[in-house]
Structure formats: C-alpha cells, structure tokens
Structure 1
Amino acid sequence: MIKKTTKDKKGTAKKVKSEIKVGVLGSGSFATAIVKMLVENCEVVNWCVRNEFVKGAIELRGHNPTYLTSVSFNLRSLNITTDINEMVAASDIVVLATPSIYLSDAMDRLTVDYRNKIFVSAIKGIVPKANDVVAHYLRNDFEIGFRNQAVIAGPCHAEEVGMERLSYLTIATVEEDVAKQLDQIFSSSFIKVNPSTDILGNEYSAILKNIYAIGAGIASGLGYGDNFIAVFVSNAIREMETFLEAIYEAPRDVNESAYLGDLLVTAYSLFSRNRNLGNLIGKGYTVKSAIQSMNMVAEGYYAAASVYATAKDKKIKTPIIDTIYNILYEEKSAENQFSKLTAKLN
C-alpha cells in the first residue's frame, strides 16, 4: 500500500499520519508492541493500561515500566487512561491485547456505545468465562458480529517489534474496507501486513501454536535434540490442519506464515514464553512452580484444557495435544508421556 506523503519546508518527503482513531486495551509486552506499531502511523493512540502505576510511569518516563522497557514513546502521540470506557469512546478501532484470562473483567466494565466500533483481537488464548475464542465471545456476549471484528496473527514476537526487526502480521477480517484501514495503521518500515479472511482459522491457529510450543519446550528440557523437535513441529502443523478443518472449514493453506510461520517462531524462539514454560517443565519443574517463575502469561497453558475438551467432543485425533494436556493437567510424567508420543510421530 502506498502511504500518503507531504513535504516539509525543506522539500523533504514526510509521511502524513492517519486520522483514524485507534485504541489499545492492555499494557503487556504485545500490547506495548502494538502501540509502537500504531504510533508510526496514527496521530494519537488511546492506550488503556492496567492501573494508575503503569499510567503514571509511562507519563513520567515515556516507556512501559515493566514490558519492552527499551521502547520510548513520544507522549504527544499517546492518550493514556485506565478507563476502558474513555478509551473505547475516543476510538473507532479498538485493539484488544490483554491476556485472555483478563479480557472478560475489562469488557464487563464497558458501558459506552460500541455498536459502530471495529474490535481487533490480538489475544491468542481462550476466554475462560466463555470457554471459547475471542471472536465467539464478542459475538455471543456483546453482539459484535464478524463484520465488526478482525484478528491479528503472527509470526510477530513483541521483543523483535521493539527492536524494529522486520516482522509480518496477518490481519484477518471479512470486510475489505476494514482490511484497508488496518493495513494503513499497522504497516511500516518494519511491519509488513498480509490480509486474510479466515478469522476463526487464524484465531484457533494462534491458540494451538502456543500449546505446541509448550510441547517443543518440554522436549528441549527433556534433552530431545533438534532432529526430534523438527519431527514434532512437522507433526504439529498436520495436527493443527486436522483440528482447523474439523472446527471451521475454509479455504486456507496452513503452510502460510500465519499458521506454520507462527508455529515455528513460537516453538523455536527464545522469546517464546510458551516454549520457556515447557522447557522448565521438561527440566523437572512442577507445572505450578514453572508458571509461578514466569512474569508473563503463557496462554498455551490456559488454552490446553479447552482445546483438549473440544478435540474429544468433536472426536478429533490430536495425540500431541493429548500428551501436553496429560502433562499439564493430569500431572503425568513428561518423560513417560513423550516416550509414548515418539511412537505416534513420523
């Protein structure tokens, strides 16, 4: 997409920022990365953060005090609040980037009119209150239809966005006008946007890859090498395809970056919190102690129980998900479970 430009007094080309009003809910690492993407293209970003401490720290020092602390913001580009209603009222597009376990607490406080807003989910987990994906939660609990929704998928680690390393976003929406607006506000010199219409497929794949990344981490912690993990990941993408086809049939190619690419980076990258959680478990930490040792939410843990139940209900064969569920929730030995899994992979 060609960006509009103007020239300053010296005749130098200068990009004109979008007047689209955008808000972000959340103050974790990915929320902070999203704000960084948006301030490249938007005059002001309405940022709803967790509490007054975070708000005050950003307003005082120009950066998030806890996540991606090296990313500095021009405060003139931010309207920071702790009130979701203030943020939503001031925005035409609302990006949801809080961990899934906290989303319903925030949305339950929503009282302003949101009927004409576009809600973009950057959440890669199951909403516990609904035991469902964000797209269904927004539709069923808030009557926000798919035409007013979009989903952000990777591969796109927040840490690399903070360093302005070239990253790719897949943004899924069924409305062409919405797709154009989102491309306009997210694309930059370090962010490339790929369009998609597979809202549910992108959302489910983002959830599944977190579960598989826990498995890759467990394998690494147990001492399995690169050869096995490569086989594990290749089986995982095939299992993901089987799951997606059973849940929601749509024209899709799981070899595209939103599916396979996101799985690869989450399974292999040292930035991956889900891989790191699995690695601790593989090294002998209990699940509880591994979770407590992390300062960020590993979405794959919370999603594993729901996805496992869905697979059983739909009679989908998911040996990898079954293995990870047994380790996380049935307290079965990681070593024994992976020993059994090796016989099922090819």
Structure 2
Amino acid sequence: MQRKSGMNIGVIGSGSWATAMIKMLSDNQQTKQIYWWVRKEADVEHIRRYKHNPSYLSSVAVDFEDEFVTSDLKQVFAQSNIIVLNTPAAYLKSVLEPLSASDFAGKVIVSAIKGIVPGENMVVGDYLAHVYQVPLEQIVVVGGPCHAEEVSSERLSYLTIASRTSDHAQSVASLLETRYIKTILSSDIIGIEYAAVLKNIFALAGGICHGLGFGDNFQAVLVSNAIREIDYFVEALDPSDRDINHSAYLGDLLVTAYSQFSRNRTFGAMIGKGYSVKSAQVEMNMVAEGYYASACIQSIIAEHQLDMPICQTVYQILYQNGQPMQEIKKLAEKLT
C-alpha cells in the first residue's frame, strides 16, 4: 500500500515497461504516493481486485488502493508533481490528446519512452516542448540498458537518468533506485533520446540478419557499425562531448541487439524469416518501436543528407518492399 506525502508520482501507461516502472517506484523506500493511469477500464478493475497487471508482467504484485489506479488521465496529472510517460511512442499523441499545456505546467515530466513520435519526427522531449510548452529544463529522460522482464525478476540493472537540470535528474534517480536498480546521471537528454530510438532500428537489423541465417561473426560487425552510426547521427543533430561507449549508448544498443527479451530483434527475425510487417505485428501483439522509428529517422536522414547504411537498409525492407536477403547482401558490402 502506498504512503501519502507531498511527493506524488503519476505513471502513464500499462505495458511491460510501465509495469516494471511501477515495481521500481513501489520497491523504492522513499515516502511518496504513486498514481497509475491504465487505459482500459477492465484492466483497472482487474488490478484493483487481483493486484497485478493482467496483460503484462503479471507476476509483478501491485498493491494499490483503488483510488490510485485509474483510467482518468486528467486526475493523474492533476494529483502528481512528477509525471512518468511510459506508453509506446506511436500512441503518445492520442494518449495526451485530452490535455493542454496547463496540465503540464510546473511539473517534472519524465520520458521513459524509447521511441519517436510518428508524423512529427520528434523525440518525446522535443514533442512536449513544441506541443505542450514544457521547458526542456523540466524534462527528464530515462535511458537503458534495462529490460522490463529482468526488472520484474529483480536482476541487477542500470538506468541512465538524464536532464539539463541536475536536481531533477538526481530526484528521479533517487526515486528509482532499489537493491536491484542502480542509476547513472547525465545531462545529454537529446543524445540519449535519439540513441534509444536508433538502437531499436539496429536491433531490427540484427533480427532480420538472424532470421536470414547470418551468424555471430556478421552480427558483431553489424553492431560495431551501428554504434558508429549512432555517434555520427547524434553528433550531426546535437554536437556534444559525449562518450558513445557509455552504457546509455553502447550498452543499450548491445542489450537490444542481442537479448532474448528484445521485441525489436524478435520483430526483425520474423521479417527475416519471411513474415510480412502486418503478420509480424499481429503475432507479436506488442509494439516494436523500431518499425515506426525507421520511417521517422529516414525523414531526418534525408533532411540532413546523412549517410547511414544500416538505417537506410531497414527502411528499404520495411517500407519499400525491399527483399531482406538482397538488401542485407548489399549492406554487407558497405560494412567495415
């Protein structure tokens, strides 16, 4: 049961990563009140009655009093000082549609979304600043490497907490730290957000190659080229003295490219084995952020005239009816 205090946190979303976030916040020992927005009223009732999410990470116990889990988005915003956005990027616009800039005023907004907003070609921080006038200084970004499934089983994991306001980064980090979660602080909100978007595309590429039968040797070359593409891209958009080998960049790429829990790698493997995009989406019943990110990133690549062979290959396969084996063979000639 949550304890009431002046620190109120609202978590927006009910997928696996949102459920893992609820677990982290609940296991953290700081006094606080957690409000959880869940889209489906049937899921709200299930959580209230049975104390677990019926659809994702159902083994995680969530001992909420009835009034603290709700499908009323405005209520959660009104009662929370800190808002954690944890929906798929593809659904963010529709989820936030009932809100106005006044609902965000004065709040610290935490993006735990590793995706880009379709149709806007913006990472979440930029979208919030543009549409809801949230100052970038009020935004905190949660980076990886961290899979929800390992959080649920309390395996030691690391989160990178980034903000231009060090006090906000420290406050959010202190709320997420548990005996199985360690945090690293950063100020690079733009680089970490874009790296989180790009690594999903590269994990898709790795999955496609796995589905086609390429081995570990090729995958290693693919991933080493991928981290260079990330470095090239973020430097082009936001030059900074960042270390691309930091856990938030290289670490997040590695876990997404190789892990059994990576839905992007799984999605890519299905494409490599001959599934259509639509059939892969139906069978997975989960959002692979890299699919939507591919089209958005391709627009940015074209706008800035960037040369990113892996990203462009994935786009050709997913959106231009490119044949996976042919496109990967052409890519293989460009890798170093």
Q: TM-score, normalised by structure 1?
A: 0.93
Whichever residue aligns with residue 33 of structure 1, its letter is A
> Which stretch of structure 1 is more off in the superposition, 205-214 or 111-120?
111-120
Matched, 1:283 2:309: no
Is it true that 1:32 corresponds to 2:19 in the alignment?
A: yes
**Structure-2 change in CA distance of 1:252 and 1:17 (3 Å):** farther
User: 1:189 & 1:92 partners in 2: Cα distance?
Assistant: 25
1:96 is aligned, of 55, 75, 85, to: 85
Over the aligned positions, Cα root-mean-square deviation in angstroms equals 1.5
Tell me: CA distance 1:142–1:100, structure 2 relative to 1, closer, same or farther (3 Å): same
Q: Report what 2:290 is aligned to.
A: 300
Amino acid in the other structure paired with 1:91 = S
Q: CA deviation at 1:77?
A: 9.8
Give the aligned length. Answer: 331
Report the secondary structure of 1:69's partner residue. Answer: coil
CA distance in 1 between counterparts of 2:119 and 2:312 reads 23
Q: Distance in 1 between matches of 2:97 and 2:257?
A: 33
- Which of residues 165, 183, 193 in structure 1 aligns to 2:155? 165
Aligned equivalents of 1:33 and 1:191: distance in 2? 11
1:84, distance to aligned residue in structure 2 (A): 1.1
Equivalent AA in structure 2 for residue 88 of structure 1: F
Distance 2:11 2:49 in 1: 20
Equivalent pair of 1:211/1:274 in contact (CA under 8 Å): yes
Determine if contact 1:22/1:45 at 8 Å carries over to the other structure. Answer: yes
User: Which blocks of at least 5 consecutive residues in structure 2 are unaligned?
Assistant: none
Name the counterpart of 1:122.
112
Contact 1:151 1:173 in 2 (8 A): yes
Secondary structure of the residue that 1:293 maps to in structure 2? helix
TM-score between both structures, scaled by the size of structure 2: 0.96
Q: Which residue of 1 aligns with 2:49?
A: 60
Q: Which runs of 4+ in 1 moved over 4 A?
A: 16-19
Contact map agreement 1:216 1:278 (CA 8 A) in 2? yes
Q: Which residue of 2 aligns with 1:110?
A: 99
1:1-346 superposed matches below 5 A: 19-41=6-28, 42-76=31-65, 79-111=68-100, 113-346=103-336
Distance 2:64 2:73 in 1: 19
Contact 2:161 2:186 in 1 (8 A): yes
Distance in 1, matches of 2:272 and 2:121, equals 27
Classify the secondary structure of the residue corresponding to 2:265.
helix
Identity of aligned residues (%): 49
Pair 1:266–1:17, CA change in 2 (3 A) = farther
